[in-house]
Amino acid sequence: MAVDKGYMSGSSTMLVLAILAEKPYYGYELIKTLKQRSNDTFDMKEGTLYPILHKLENDALVASSNQEVSGRVRKVYAITEKGSRALAKEKQEWNEFSMAVNQVLTFGVV
Amino acid sequence: MTGKEYLQRVRKHIYYIFDRDGIERELAEHLQDGMDALRNEGYSKEEAETLAVERMGSPDEVGRQLNKEHHPVLGYAWLASVVLLVLLAVPLMLSVGNMIYMGIKTITPINIENSVEIYPVNMVLELPTHKVRLDNICVSEEGEYYLTYRARTKYSYSRAGWSTELFYPQDSSGKYLGQSGFSSSGRYGYKEFAWPEGGILYLRTKDGQLIEIDLNEVMVNEAG
């Protein structure tokens, strides 16, 4: 199932940070991982990842470096300390939000 | 759309042109990865390219979004500030370098005894605080001119510190001609000076006296 674009755009920053929290990735690798982890739910247009990554870099939440990966030079992104803090905060907000949504949706359902 | 066309379309949206190549390189790598994966799945070269480009989405949308992150105003402002900084830093570095050079030159004791030519001056400057005896005009191997002198304070028997600017050489127009130092033996001070116009060297003392030395006269008889 592919989800509506609106859901994606709000949380894409958090999802990208969550994947980068594990290890540094280059763009192509990152989008494949995102797709796999979400069981193909997050099947975004691949090009749209780059504005997200560049924004994260501008905000100093990730840092990039050019590295040679399997014979080719890739722009590899790694999460920064500031990025880790932002991710923790977003995760917490997300948990509170989704819990509240679930409570409303399941009200009265036994 | 071919990969090349896709990249060209994205590029056009980036107003900060200095970031265009970096963006294109990154997206080209992504396209290449996508094409390689599709080729492995059995697609032909052309099919793989078309499909990989399709998966990228709209180049206009990506280009516009990227342009926001590579803001032309901020980008060019940053570039301008770097250029400005370099322009400011160059004269600063030159002047600091010059100051250091002058400093080293001033504190390096020269060995007046190595002078090629020595001409006696034998004049005395009476300053309110010091008595200054001008000894010799010396010419070094490099053709530099020095005036050597000895100074004594009138109130103690200690030798005058060479750091005090008791007098300085100038030409007839009042242009400062040189700099101070002290001999390697430390026994006397010297003023290095550039050859003044007409050979008339003026010494301006701390208390405002102007002493004239005609080098054409002085530099006739070498000291034995």
Confirm whether B71 is domain-assigned: yes
- Taking Cα atoms as reference points, which of A4, A9, A88 lies closest to residue A52? A9
* Chain A interface disruption, residue of B66, B74, B78, most A CBs within 10 A: B66
pLDDT digits (tens, 9 = 90+) for B162-206: 555 788 888 888 777 776 666 655 667 788 888 888 889 998 888
Domain count along chain B: 2
B96 and B120 together in one domain: no
Domain ranges, residue B169: 112-218
A54/B55 Cβ within 8 A: no
Does B98 lie in the same domain as B9?
yes
Q: Are residues B212 and B116 in the same domain?
A: yes
Look at residue B223 and tell me if it is in a domain. Answer: no
Q: How many CB pairs under 8 A join A and B?
A: 59
Is the same domain home to B85 and B116? no
- Give which of A8, A25, A28 to mutate to test B binding, by max B Cβ within 10 Å: A28
Q: Where are the domains of chain A?
A: 5-105
DSSP summary character for residue A7: H
Query: Is the same domain home to B100 and B117?
Result: no
Let me know whether B93 and B134 are in one domain. no
- The last residue of a domain, from among B66, B84, B104: B104
Alpha-helical segments (H) within chain A: 5-20, 27-37, 49-58, 81-105
Q: Are B12 and B97 in the same domain? A: yes
User: At residue A1, does pLDDT exceed 60?
Assistant: no
b vs e for B151-184, b when ≥16 Cβ sit within 10 Å of the residue's Cβ?
beeeeeeeebebeeebbbbbbeeeeebbbbbbbe
Identify from B20, B29, B51, B58 which residue to disrupt to test chain A contact, counting A C-beta atoms within 10 A and taking the largest count.
B29
| CA-closest candidate to residue A33, choices A70, A65, A63, A77 | A77
Q: Which positions ≥6 away from B136 have C-beta within 8 Å?
A: B112, B115, B118, B119, B120, B121, B147, B148, B223
Beta bridge mates, B147: B137, B191
Q: Could you tell me if B58 and B119 lie in one domain? A: no
Task: Indicate whether B160 belongs to any domain.
Answer: yes
CB-CB contact of B115 with B139 (8 Å): yes
ipTM of the complex: 0.85
Instruction: State whether A50 and B66 contact (CB < 8 Å).
Output: yes
Same domain, B98 and B150: no
Q: Is B224 within a domain? A: no
Q: Do B61 and A47 touch (CB under 8 A)?
A: yes
Q: Distance (Å) from the C-alpha of residue B79 to the closest C-alpha of chain A?
A: 16
B139 and B96 within one domain: no
How far is it, in rounded angstroms, from Cα B67 to Cα B87? 29
Chain A positions touching B28 (Cβ under 8 A) are none
Instruction: Tell me the per-residue pLDDT of A28-81, one tens digit each, with 9 for 90 and over.
Output: 999 999 988 888 777 789 999 999 999 999 999 999 999 888 788 899 999 999
Judge if B81 and B116 occupy the same domain.
no
Distance from CA of B21 to the nearest CA of A (A): 13
Check B26 against A27: CB less than 8 A apart.
yes
Pairing label, strands B130-139, B117-126: antiparallel
Tens digit of each residue's pLDDT (9 = 90 or more) over B27-56: 999 999 999 999 999 999 999 999 999 999
**Residue whose tokens read 């200095």:** B18
Q: Which amino acid is at B154?
A: K
Q: Who wins on pLDDT, B100 or A40? A: A40
Domain A5-105 listed as CATH 3.30.70.260? no
Is B68 within 8 Å of A51 when comparing Cβ atoms? yes
Q: Which residues of A6-42 are buried (b: 16+ CB within 10 A; e: fewer)?
A: eebeeebbbbbbbbbeeebbbbbbbbeebeeeeeeeb
Is residue B128 a contact partner of residue B106, using CB atoms and an 8 Å limit? Answer: no
- The DSSP H or E segment spanning A69 is strand A62-69
Judged by CB atoms within 8 Å, which residues 79-98 of A form the interface with B?
none
